[in-house]
Amino acid sequence: MAKIVVDVMLKPEILDPQGNAVASALPRLGFTFAKSVRQGKRFEIEIDGEPTAAQLAEVEKAAEILLSNPVIENFVVRVEK
Amino acid sequence: MRVGVITFPGTLDDRDAARAVVAGGAEAVSLWHGDADLKSVDAVVLPGGFSYGDYLRCGAISRFAPVMQSVIEVANKGMPVLGICNGFQVLCESHLLPGALTRNSDLHFLCRDQEIEVINNQTAWTNSFKQGEKIVIPLKNGEGSFQCDDQTLLMLEGEGRVVARYVGENPNGSRNLIAGITNAKGNVVGLMPHPEHAINELTGPSAQGLGFFTSILNAMVK
């Protein structure tokens, strides 16, 4: 069994109010390391066996059609060992 | 004239939208998300709410509902379609309208009476208004910030496709104060604030929202 991970992030130019809220909460808790924070989504997809190139292409397609909105988001597909 | 009002799981404003359609002088026809049959309607309203619990992204799941496949087909052929709030989000996710609606810039769910200016009164849904007419209707949403890239924004502004703008302070971070837009043909309109809640002064801030529902009759008569 393998796990395919799709990370979806807002495009850099799109305002991320949630990330900004997290960034401003961190120093209030004494964490001063963050210059900025962006918040995204992570999808974990389990499949039987090792993923084939065709399966990964299908996941890419699904990420583009459903998991992300290409107008405001970018995504990255990777296989997690 | 028959105007369909779609109900998705989690839709809230279908009853008010149907009432507004009737108040505007048309027959309201209930349409169900799981049924691709549009029941011979002449126009469609996608009402507000939280379809599919806003899971994934607002409107992202609704886009693939059987009824939406029919709506996309007829909208591309010119049938008037109005998406209000969540309906606007569904229209953007369906690529019937450009751009996307994202979280309000201050993260608050807003629920208030909002003044908007009708910028384009040539659409199927806004021809009852004067150009530049200012009206007050409710605004109630958490993800109402209209976003798009610079090129799309220039196109919308250049082609006169901004239908309405917020008046005064920007309530949600929308680019260029955009409250509503239309497609190139002017038959599909997406609007963040809620005209269907402002058809009677007894229950709304004004009766000015009714203009959207009388416009559709004018559009059909022409």
Indicate which CATH number applies to the domain containing B7. Answer: 3.40.50.880
Q: Following CA atoms B163, B166, B170, B174 in sequence, which dihedral angle do they give, to the nearest 10 degrees?
A: -20
Chain B residues touching A17 at Cβ < 8 A: 103-107, 173
Structure confidence by residue, pLDDT tens digits, A25-79: 999 999 999 999 999 999 999 999 999 999 999 999 999 999 999 999 999 999 9
Chain B residues touching A67 at Cβ < 8 A: 56
| Alpha-carbon distance B132 to nearest alpha carbon in chain A (angstroms) | 29
What residue numbers bound the domain in which B95 lies? 2-221
- What is d(CA B55, CA B141) in angstroms, rounded to the nearest whole number? 15
Q: What is the mean pLDDT of residues B116-137?
A: 97
Q: Which two tokens stand for residue B48?
A: 């507000």
Over 80: is that where the pLDDT of B17 sits? yes
- What is d(CA B60, CA A5) in angstroms, rounded to the nearest whole number? 20
Residue A81: band (very low, low, confident or very high) from pLDDT cuts 50, 70, 90: confident
pLDDT at position B220 is 84
**Helix, coil or strand: residue A8:** strand
pLDDT at position B219 is 87
Structure confidence by residue, pLDDT tens digits, B96-121: 999 999 999 999 999 999 999 999 99
pLDDT at position B221 is 80
pLDDT at position B211 is 97
Whether B57 sits inside 8 A of A71 (CB atoms) is no
Chain A residues touching B107 at Cβ < 8 A: 17-18, 21
ipTM field: 0.84
Over 90: is that where the pLDDT of B43 sits? yes
Structure confidence by residue, pLDDT tens digits, B55-76: 999 999 999 999 999 999 999 9
Structure confidence by residue, pLDDT tens digits, B151-204: 999 999 999 999 999 999 999 999 999 999 999 999 999 999 999 999 999 999
pLDDT at position B57 is 93
Count: domains in chain B: 1
Q: Chain B within 8 Å of A22 (Cβ-Cβ)?
A: no
Q: What is the CATH code of the structural domain delimited by A2-80?
A: 3.30.1280.10
Q: Which of residues 40-69 of A touch B (CB under 8 A)?
A: 66-67, 69
Q: Which two tokens stand for residue A49?
A: 């066996």
Q: B207 or A13: which carries more pLDDT confidence? A: B207
- Residue A33's CB is within 10 A of a number of other CB atoms, namely 6
Over 80: is that where the pLDDT of B146 sits? yes
A73, with CB counted inside 10 A (0-12, 13-18, 19+), is buried
Residue A1: band (very low, low, confident or very high) from pLDDT cuts 50, 70, 90: confident
Over 90: is that where the pLDDT of B28 sits? yes
Q: How far is CA B106 from the centre of its chain?
A: 22
Q: What share of chain B in percent tops pLDDT 70?
A: 100
